[in-house]
Amino acid sequence: MRDKGVYSVQAVVKAIDLLEALAQGGESPSIVVLEKKLGLSHNKAFRLLATLEDKGLVERNKLTGTYNLGLQAFEMAQHILKSDNLIRMAHPIMVELARKLDEAVYFTVANNDEVLFLDMVDSFQQIKTADLVGKRFPFFTNAAGKVIKSVSSIDLFGRASKKRGIKDVQLLEVELDEIRKKGVAVDFNGLGEGICTVAVVIRDYAGKVVGALTLLAPSFRMMQDRLEQEIIPSMIEGAEELSMKFGYMKIPA
């Protein structure tokens, strides 16, 4: 085993840092902003951006002098997602759920101490939530993170809690215990005012959590009766079907 970073090429590392900074969204940054954020000299930042621009990974707005991810970066990301076994297996079930419930359904995975929204099938509703594909959120701000953490080890929970500065750990532990018993997490306003998330874990043949099926919808469409009678049963059924595709066999109680 080699030590991490022993063979790292700093130019490559900095180029990846630049791409990650541009992938975070928000306002398109200028080269000055990127220099300060990543601790780069103007010359190095300029050369790296120019190289990435030549490869189509970065685009420069000539009028404003700001930068965005280029078309080639998005095409590469799509190829990765499409070739990923998780996405290929999950997508058909996501389509079924999205059409049945007419709400946006995502496939989400744990990414360090955050939840990453990997893939989405949208609804046909006129009023929709924002597209979150590629976005990361702290675990405890949404149903996906909570349902994944509810079946994680105490050690993982403790480390993430300290890192995220959870104010009332005991209250959160009670909530996660309830989620673990029910097998589903429902969260209101965690990802923004008026947004509801509903999530159920996906397991593989070894019982390991590989991700979560997550539904996002405006809160006004998530009335309690609909949640209990339609949304939650359908999400659990879809998650069980997908888990079986990954080889998971539920042990009878």
If you ran DSSP here, which 8-state letter would residue 140 be given?
Answer: G
Same fold for the domain at 10-75 and the one at 84-245? no
* Residue 196 pLDDT > 50: yes
pTM check: above 0.75: no
pLDDT at residue 155, rounded to an integer: 46
Q: Which of these, 115, 135, 97, lies nearest to 241 by C-alpha position?
A: 97
Q: What is the pLDDT of residues 70-88, one digit of tens each?
A: 877 876 776 555 446 778 8
Q: What are phi and psi of 214, to 5 degrees?
A: -135, 125
How many Å apart are CA 226 and CA 224, to the nearest integer? 5
* Residue 93 pLDDT > 70: yes
What are the structure tokens assigned to 13, written together? 């590392």
How many Å apart are CA 242 and CA 135, to the nearest integer? 23
Contact 215, 103 (CB under 8 A): yes
What residue segments make up the domains of the chain, in order of their start?
Answer: 10-75, 84-245
pLDDT at residue 1, rounded to an integer: 45
What are the structure tokens assigned to 151, written together? 């079946």
Exposure of 81 in the CB half-sphere (CA atoms within 13 A):
18
pLDDT at residue 83, rounded to an integer: 46
Contact 34, 18 (CB under 8 A): yes
CATH superfamily, domain 84-245, is GAF domain (3.30.450.40)
* Residue 161 pLDDT > 60: no
pLDDT band at 8 (very low <50, low <70, confident <90, very high): low
What are the structure tokens assigned to 233, written together? 């049963």
- How large is the C-alpha radius of gyration of the chain? 20
3-state class of 138 per DSSP? strand
How many Å apart are CA 57 and CA 113, to the nearest integer? 27
What are the structure tokens assigned to 58, written together? 């970065």
SS3 of 55-100: the string is CCCEEECCCCCEEEECHHHHHHHHHHHHHCHHHHHHHHHHHHHHHH
3-state class of 118 per DSSP? strand
Mean pLDDT (whole number) for 126-141:
82
Residue 189: C-alpha distances to residues 77, 129, 179, 206 (Å): 29, 12, 17, 33
Please give the mean pLDDT across all residues of the chain: 84
Share of the chain above pLDDT 70, in %: 85
* Residue 137 pLDDT > 70: yes
What are the structure tokens assigned to 79, written together? 């190829």
**CATH number attached to the domain at 10-75:** 1.10.10.10
How many Å apart are CA 228 and CA 177, to the nearest integer? 19
If you ran DSSP here, which 8-state letter would residue 205 be given?
Answer: T
Q: Which of these, 116, 114, 103, 91, lies nearest to 197 by C-alpha position?
A: 103
